[in-house]
Structure 1
Amino acid sequence: MLKEFCAENYTDLPQAIAKGANRIELCDNLAVGGTTPSTGVIEEALSYTGEKGVTVMTMIRPRGGDFIYTDIELKIMHTDLIEAKKLGTDGVVFGCLTPSNWLDEEALEMLIDNAEGLQITFHMAFDAIAKERQFEAIDWLAERGVTRILTHGGPSGTPIADNYDHLKALIAHANERIIILPGGGITFENAQEVVDTLGVTEVHGTKIVPLDSL
């Protein structure tokens, strides 16, 4: 089981790796769902994880709130992505939507092009897409080489178990063309059940490993 620990800055990163996290999603501002960490944080995190053989996925998100971005915000995301790439991040995490909650195809194609050579995770903006269109979104992202989609499979705050049926449908549709990464409400206590129920090999969360601070 690959346990992706969602880390706010550097603070809990060494302990999380010691407790079994084998991939890091690196963010700032988890109170708003995660934004782009600073260059200094990315640099130190990569230095530490590099010694431990752990990969880092860097969040590229200019602010909290929705996933509908202005041209200026997209320019910021472009610059942040290029900087994270220069620093040596293994992958990037982003998501852009239109006001009708469909994929912002133009913005995404720009970011995907700039992320060439990196793993790409499309984050939980996916859950804002209408359920019946999520299968179409999987096709679009898979065709453009996106590595994985992070999804709760249902409304934020619902127990992950309530969303098993929809997650199973998404996984079946993805058909190994793209990884469906379950997240939201997954902890070290229920991660094995999630893996066994869904047949996935990767899980994501802030409590995916037991930290002393929790």
Structure 2
Amino acid sequence: MIKEFCAENFTDIPAAIAAGANRIELCDNLAVGGTTPSLGVIEEALAYAGEKHVPVMTMIRPRGGNFCYNDLELKIMEQDLIHAKNAGTDGVVFGCLTPEKEVDEEALEILLGNSAGLQTTYHMAFDQLTNEKQFEAIDWFVKLGIDRILTHGGPLSRPIEENLAHLKELIDYADGRIIILPGGGITSKTVEPLCGKLGVSEAHGTKIVSL
């Protein structure tokens, strides 16, 4: 099982890996849902995790708030992605929406154009799509070659256990074409039974291991 630990900067990464985290999502500013960490943090995290053979997924998000980015913000994201790639990150995590809460196809294609050779995760911006649009997005993401979708299966205000039915629908629809990565409120105690119910082998969270 892959336990992806959502890390705010470098601080908890050594303890998380020692506790069984075998992939890291590296962020800054988790109070707003995670933003791009500094290049120094990225480099140190990659150096440490690399020694332990633990891959690092770097968040590419220029600010908190919504997921609608203007041209300047998108340029910042593009540059941050290139810097993270040059530093040796194993993958990147991003998500872009239009004001109508649909996938921003143009922005996504720009970011993917700079992601060659990296793992890619579309983050929880996915949860703001309507259910119908989520199934459409899965088909499109498969065509684009995105590796996984991080999703809570519904509003973060609800425990993930209440979203299992929809998560199972997404997983069944994906049918192995793309990884559906459940996250948000999963703990070291609930990760194995939850993954068992969903039939998945990857999960994500800030408490996915006991620190």
Q: TM-score range by the shorter chain?
A: over 0.9
Structure 2 counterparts to residues 11-30 of structure 1, below 5 A: 11-30=11-30
- 2:132 & 2:160 partners in 1: Cα distance? 19
Question: Partner of 2:64 in structure 1?
Answer: 64
Query: Which residue of structure 1 lines up, in the alignment, with residue 129 of structure 2?
Result: 129
Which contiguous aligned blocks of 4+ residues in structure 1 show a shift greater than 3 angstroms? none
Matches of 1:160 and 1:192 in 2, distance apart?
14
Deviations 1:152-203 (A, max 9, x none): 0011121111111100000011111100000001000100111110000000
Given residue 160 of structure 1, which amino acid in structure 2 is its aligned partner?
A: I
CA distance in 2, matches of 1:52, 1:198: 29
Map of 2:119 onto structure 1: 119
Distance (whole Å) between structure 2 residues aligned to residue 131 and residue 176 of structure 1: 19
Q: Unpaired runs of 5+ in structure 2?
A: none
CA distance in 2, matches of 1:140, 1:22: 28
Q: Look up the match of 2:201.
A: 201
Three-state SS of the structure 2 residue aligned to 1:75 is helix
1:83 aligns with 2:83: yes
How many residues were matched structurally?
211
Pairwise CA distance, 1:107? 0.5
Q: Secondary structure at the match of 1:200?
A: coil
Amino acid at match of 2:89: T
Summarize deviations over 1:79-107 as a string: whole Å, max 9, x none. 00000000000000000000111100000
**What is the CA distance between 1:53 and its match in structure 2?**
0.3
Q: What is the SS of the residue equivalent to 2:109?
A: helix
Q: Secondary structure at the match of 1:3?
A: strand
Q: Deviations over 1:25-46 (max 9, x none)?
A: 0000000000000000000000
Take 2:171 and 2:143, find their aligned partners in 1: how far apart are those partners? 16
Q: TM-score under structure 2 normalisation?
A: 0.99
TM-score by length of 1: 0.98
Instruction: Check the 8 A contact 1:127/1:151 in 2, yes or no.
Output: yes
- The sequence identity of aligned pairs, in percent, is 69
What is the match of residue 45 of structure 1? 45
Task: Give structure 1 stretches of 5+ with no counterpart.
Answer: none
Q: Which amino acid in 2 is paired with 1:99?
A: P
Distance in 2, matches of 1:99 and 1:137, equals: 16
For residue 157 of structure 1, what is the aligned residue in structure 2? 157
